[in-house]
A and B are shown apart, each in its own frame.
Chain A
Amino acid sequence: MAIALDLVALSKQYGEVRALDNVTLQVREGEFFGLLGPNGAGKTTLISIVSGLARASSGQARVMGFDVVRDYRQARRALGVVPQELVFDPFFTVRETLRLTSGYYGLAHNDDWIDEILANLDLSAKVDTNMRSLSGGMKRRVLVAQALVHRPPVIVLDEPTAGVDVELRQALWRFVRRLNHEGHTIVLTTHYLEEAQELCERVAMLQNGAMVALEPTADLIKRFSGGMLVLRLGGAPLPPRLAALRVEYPLPDRVALPLARYDDLEPTLAELRLAGCLIEELELLHTDLEDVFVRIMRGER
């Protein structure tokens, strides 16, 4: 499988601040990739370097094999970027905006594709509306449309759902997922971790400019424990080995046992049975990406 995004030892220094610290990362073609991290972690800096909005202090970035500085024309043609800021040109209507963007990418007759994107983003009714008169959500959709006019193989969405209502968020994800199924590589930054968990096959986590995790989403969650076994027990008391593992839980009549891995579940239940404990209620709490994120940001690796 070809490499859609290839970053090698990428660093960016802003005066005293090291915004990006030696990040090496590859995103495969067709992948749905998540870039996570708290504010100021370097996500937007990374995207800016890849899209040519900023220059790396050192290191290399390639899009579909094209160096973003040396072969900037091919690299930019291969990339569609939805910027985080809600920017627009107040002089133009939606259609004018999309025609101009098409032209910048060298496309002369692009109206059929523009109409298709507009229909997919529920913007058809607004084609002749001036950008100024659109709501925030609508402006966001136009930004998505602008990123797609040149049918880029790689699409980068920088916090596309920040401040967007639930309905638009759902519609946007349906559309982005479809683009991914059609073969587009998607790189997404988001604050909503359940979003990343649901959509991204693989995630990278950034902290203070450095990459602190890079793994398939499922592996990452699995690695950070299988979760928590919560029981209400009758019969014999908890055997001493398990009692030592017991952790506090909001409900006092429950016994909470952390599971390092799901593989530990079966032996634990066997041990309880052997000790004569009666399981009256059982609940298995899963770790989600949010827990993993919090723990990684705290320094667990």
Chain B
Amino acid sequence: MTRGFITLFYKELLRFLKVGVQTIAAPILTSALYLLIFGHVLTDRVTVFEGVRYTSFLIPGLVMMAVLQNSFANSSSSMIQSKITGNIVFVLLPPLSHFEIFSAYVLAAMVRGIAVGLGVFVFTAWFADLSFAAPAWIVVFAVLGSAILGTMGLMVGIWAEKFDQIAVFQNFIIMPMTFLAGVFYSVTSLPAVWQKLSHLNPFFYMVDGFRYGFFGVADVSPWTSLIVVCVALAVTGMLALRLLASGYRLRN
């Protein structure tokens, strides 16, 4: 743990904490509204897992969605803001290594994602009974999922040259992939083709493994999910480190 890394990590934390209403409170409210509305409308009509009310089923998915989206939002918006305002030079001029820059941005994104997730959880837990069948899986998938999305956010932030490009990525890729990962339903309820397609979506494994931690039931084995998620993290992590090492769009 170097002083440079700790400082950059701390700066990244301060960056979102100083605008906490927008970066933490607002996404918690959004998720809470999802739960109140969908839960209210559907809870007596839909049963996904035997003996689990729909509202309870919904909560882990909503929490994970918040974790993933906010991790992505944090690193991507921090990077693009610094690039557009030019203050990225404060990070590029000092003797920080690629790995230090990578870890600081991703770790801060994870903290924001997990903080929002925790907020959503605490808020929504009032409205439903939740079990914790295998809590270790909850932690593992929250950590890995947020790391992957933080890494993706960092890469998109490095690649993008305008805020719009981040928004496009968020609305046309991250948002659909999380929604289609089975946040609001179990993919086993889908027609066979869509089930197969869902299994190609790495986000599905993040949500499914995370949910397993609560109910001890999931669409696929949590070990399968763990492997897929670990591979996804390794691939995105290596790509992001290579981007940083090459200086792509940062040092040219």
User: Interface of A with B (CB < 8 Å)?
Assistant: 51-55, 72-74, 76-77, 79, 81, 83, 85, 87-92, 96, 100-108, 146, 150
Given contacts A76-B93, A91-B19, 19 further A-B contacts (CB under 8 A): A53-B92, A53-B251, A55-B251, A76-B95, A81-B93, A83-B89, A87-B87, A87-B90, A88-B87, A89-B82, A92-B14, A100-B7, A101-B90, A103-B4, A103-B8, A104-B4, A104-B8, A106-B4, A108-B3
Contact residues of B between 141 and 200, Cβ < 8 Å to A: none
How many A-B Cβ pairs are below 8 Å?
78
Bound-state Cα–Cα, A85 to B85, Å:
10
15 A-B residue pairs with Cβ-Cβ distance under 8 Å, sorted by A, are A53-B89, A55-B251, A73-B95, A76-B94, A76-B95, A81-B93, A91-B19, A100-B10, A101-B94, A103-B7, A104-B91, A105-B95, A107-B3, A108-B3, A150-B94
Known: A52-B251, A91-B18. A106 touches B93 (CB 8 A): no
Q: In angstroms, how far is the closest chain B Cβ from the Cβ of A62?
A: 15
Structural contact, B4 and A89, CB atoms closer than 8 A: no
Which residues of the partner chain B approach A51 to less than 8 Å between Cβ atoms?
93
- Contact mask for chain B residues 1-28; partner A; CB cutoff 8 A; 1 contact, 0 none: 0111011101100110011000000000
User: B30 at the A/B interface (Cβ < 8 Å)?
Assistant: no
Which residues of the partner chain B approach A52 to less than 8 Å between Cβ atoms?
92-93, 251
Q: In angstroms, how far is the closest chain A Cβ from the Cβ of B215?
A: 41
Structural contact, B14 and A91, CB atoms closer than 8 A: yes
Bound-state Cα–Cα, A102 to B95, Å:
11
Bound-state Cα–Cα, A81 to B18, Å:
28
Structural contact, A146 and B95, CB atoms closer than 8 A: no
B94 (CB) vs chain A CBs: closest residue: A104
Q: In angstroms, how far is the closest chain A Cβ from the Cβ of B152?
A: 23
Contact residues of B between 238 and 252, Cβ < 8 Å to A: 247, 251-252
Q: In angstroms, how far is the closest chain A Cβ from the Cβ of B17?
A: 10
Bound-state Cα–Cα, A104 to B88, Å:
12
Identify which of A76, A104, A106 gathers the most chain B CB atoms within 10 Å of its CB.
A104
Bound-state Cα–Cα, A50 to B92, Å:
12
A146 (CB) vs chain B CBs: closest residue: B90
Which residues of the partner chain A approach B97 to less than 8 Å between Cβ atoms?
73
Q: In angstroms, how far is the closest chain B Cβ from the Cβ of A92?
A: 7
Bound-state Cα–Cα, A52 to B244, Å:
13
Bound-state Cα–Cα, A134 to B15, Å:
19
Which residues of the partner chain A approach B2 to less than 8 Å between Cβ atoms?
106
Which residues of the partner chain B approach A76 to less than 8 Å between Cβ atoms?
93-95
Identify which of B82, B95, B251 gathers the most chain A CB atoms within 10 Å of its CB.
B95
Which residues of the partner chain A approach B91 to less than 8 Å between Cβ atoms?
104
Identify which of B3, B6, B8, B10 gathers the most chain A CB atoms within 10 Å of its CB.
B3
Contact residues of B between 65 and 86, Cβ < 8 Å to A: 82, 85-86
Bound-state Cα–Cα, A131 to B62, Å:
38
Bound-state Cα–Cα, A208 to B92, Å:
26
The one of B3, B19, B86, B252 in contact with A54, judged by C-beta atoms closer than 8 angstroms, is: B252
Bound-state Cα–Cα, A55 to B250, Å:
10
Bound-state Cα–Cα, A88 to B14, Å:
15
Q: In angstroms, how far is the closest chain A Cβ from the Cβ of B10?
A: 7
Which residues of the partner chain B approach A108 to less than 8 Å between Cβ atoms?
3
Bound-state Cα–Cα, A102 to B19, Å:
24
Bound-state Cα–Cα, A103 to B95, Å:
10
Which residues of the partner chain A approach B247 to less than 8 Å between Cβ atoms?
55
Which residues of the partner chain B approach A106 to less than 8 Å between Cβ atoms?
2-4, 95
Which residues of the partner chain A approach B232 to less than 8 Å between Cβ atoms?
none
Identify which of B10, B89, B96, B97 gathers the most chain A CB atoms within 10 Å of its CB.
B89
Bound-state Cα–Cα, A194 to B232, Å:
59
Which residues of the partner chain B approach A90 to less than 8 Å between Cβ atoms?
85
Known: A83-B89, A87-B86, A88-B87. A104 touches B251 (CB 8 A): no
